[in-house]
Structure 1
């Protein structure tokens, strides 16, 4: 089970990796726009410095043609490092690019997945991660969890070395469902993951425990004060 954050905001990344078991960072052009760094590569290097080599970094290309996608992938790998996962949308040209990049040994995250057959194409092309867009699929009237479940079954059945990286979330319920239906990883905005801890019952439970403790040992007297 992998928690990955979908942001390039440096302060959000610093906080997330300090507080939560975050194993990676994803981005796309729309995510980049939210922060709008003047020097894209310098900024992404800073992201890498924060998360280290032990966490994955996923960066998306913007070209639509295979040869240009591959060129952009090479530039990203040269500017940052060869451990970056190149995010490639699963279009007709994108699948061709995934095949070429995997033949070179490049890490690839297949993204913009809306349909199971799209996912199967990316799987057969050798993608390391496949990212179905959960909320967007649901908004189109389809069932993203059915896609995740069937894709997960196919990965296990055929023995593929690939992980489902569910993306596009609006709330915690979608994240929980994605894991429960077979996704090995999710990528979500930091604010969505922080909603996990926004339950007032958690704070009430802690306050009740503290109150009972202070009734025994005195107000303000903690464990370290004994």
Structure 2
């Protein structure tokens, strides 16, 4: 099970990694726009410094043609490192680019997946991660959990070395369901992941425990003060 942060905000990444079992960081042009770093590659190198080599870093291309997608991938790998996962939208040209990149042994995350057949094509092309857009699929009237379940069944049945990284979330329930239906990873905004802990019952439980402790040993006296 992998929790991946969908942000390029350095402070969110630092805090997220400090508190949560974060496995990596994803980005796309819309997420980059929210932070708008002047030096794109320099900013991505800072992210790599923060997360280290043991966590995955996923950076998306913007070109529409397969050949230029591959050129952009090469530039990203040159500027950052050869462990970056290149995010490629599964368009017709994107599928061709995925095949080309995998022929070179480059890590690929197939993104912008709305349909099971799209996912199957990306799987057969060798993608390392496949990112179905959970909330957007639901908004279009389809069942994203059915897609995730069917895709994971295909991965298991055929023995593919690929992970579903469910994406596009508006709430915690969607994340929970994505895992329950078979996704091995999720990529979600920092604020959505933190929402798990915005439960007043958690704070009340902690407060009640502390009050009981202090009633025995004295107000403000912690375990290390004994």
Q: Taking structure 2 as the reference length, what is the TM-score of the superposition?
A: 1.00
How big is the shift at 1:172? 0.2
**SS, match of residue 42 in structure 2:** helix
Q: Distance in 2 between matches of 1:2 and 1:218?
A: 42
Match of 2:123 in 1: 123
The equivalences for 1:1-226 within 5 A come to 1-226=1-226
How many angstroms apart in 2 are the aligned matches of 1:91 and 1:195?
A: 33
TM-superposed CA distance for 1:61, in Å, is: 0.2
CA shift for structure 1 position 8: 0.3
Query: For the residues of structure 1 that align with 2:86 and 2:115, how far apart are their CA atoms?
Result: 20
Q: How many residues were matched structurally?
A: 226
Q: How far apart in 1 are the matches of 2:164 and 2:213?
A: 45
Residues 115-156 of structure 1: per-residue CA shift (max 9 Å, x gap): 000000000000000000000000000000000000000000
Query: Structure 2 CA distance, aligned partners of 1:72 and 1:215?
Result: 63
Rounded to whole Å, the distance in 2 between the matches of 1:7 and 1:50 is 13
What do residues 143-196 of structure 1 show as CA deviations (whole Å, max 9, x unaligned)? Answer: 000000000000000000000000000000000000000000000000000000
Q: Distance in 1 between matches of 2:125 and 2:168?
A: 23
The Cα shift of 1:212 comes to 0.7
Q: Distance in 2 between matches of 1:50 and 1:15?
A: 10
Structure 1: 4+ residue segments shifted above 4 A: none
Contiguous gaps of at least 5 residues in structure 1: none
**1:215 to partner: Cα distance:** 1.0
Q: Which ranges of structure 2 fall in alignment gaps of 5 or more residues?
A: none
CA distance in structure 2 between the partners assigned to 1:220 and 1:41 by the alignment: 48
Distance 1:12 1:212 in 2: 34
